[in-house]
Amino acid sequence: MPRFQTSDGLSLHYSDEGKGTPLLCLAGLTRDGRDFDFIAPHLPELRLIRLDYRGRGKSDWGPKDSYTPLVEARDVLELLDHLALPKTAILGTSRGGLIAMTLAVMAKDRLLGVALNDVGPELNRRGLEKIATYIGKKPAFKSYDALLEVWPDLAYGFNNVPMSRFREEITRLYTQGDKTLELTYDPALRTGVMEALEAEMPDLWPFFEALGGIPLCALRGQNSTLLTESSFAKR
Residue 149 DSSP code? T
Residue 157 DSSP code? T
Please report which residue ranges of 28-143 form alpha helices under DSSP H.
69-82, 95-106, 125-132
The rounded distance, in Å, linking the Cα atoms of 209 and 213 is 9
The rounded distance, in Å, linking the Cα atoms of 117 and 96 is 8
The rounded distance, in Å, linking the Cα atoms of 46 and 20 is 5
The rounded distance, in Å, linking the Cα atoms of 68 and 115 is 20
Q: Which fold has domain 3-123+202-233?
A: Rossmann fold (3.40.50)
Phi and psi at 74, nearest 5°, equal -60, -40
Per residue of the chain (235 residues), what is the pLDDT tens digit?
Answer: 799 999 999 999 999 999 999 999 999 999 999 999 999 999 999 999 999 999 999 999 999 999 999 999 999 999 999 999 999 999 999 999 999 999 999 999 999 999 999 999 999 999 999 899 999 998 889 999 999 999 888 877 788 889 999 999 999 889 999 989 999 999 999 999 999 899 888 899 999 999 999 999 999 998 898 999 999 998 6
197 contacts 88 by C-beta, under 8 angstroms: no
The pLDDT value recorded for residue 235 is: 67
Q: Please state, as a whole number, how many other Cβ atoms lie within 10 Å of the Cβ of residue 182.
A: 12
122 contacts 226 by C-beta, under 8 angstroms: no
What are the percentages of helix, strand and coil residues in the chain, rounded to 5? 35, 20, 45
For the chain, what are the domain ranges? 3-123+202-233
- Containing 230, the helix (H) or strand (E) segment is helix 229-233
Phi and psi at 82, nearest 5°, equal -60, -35
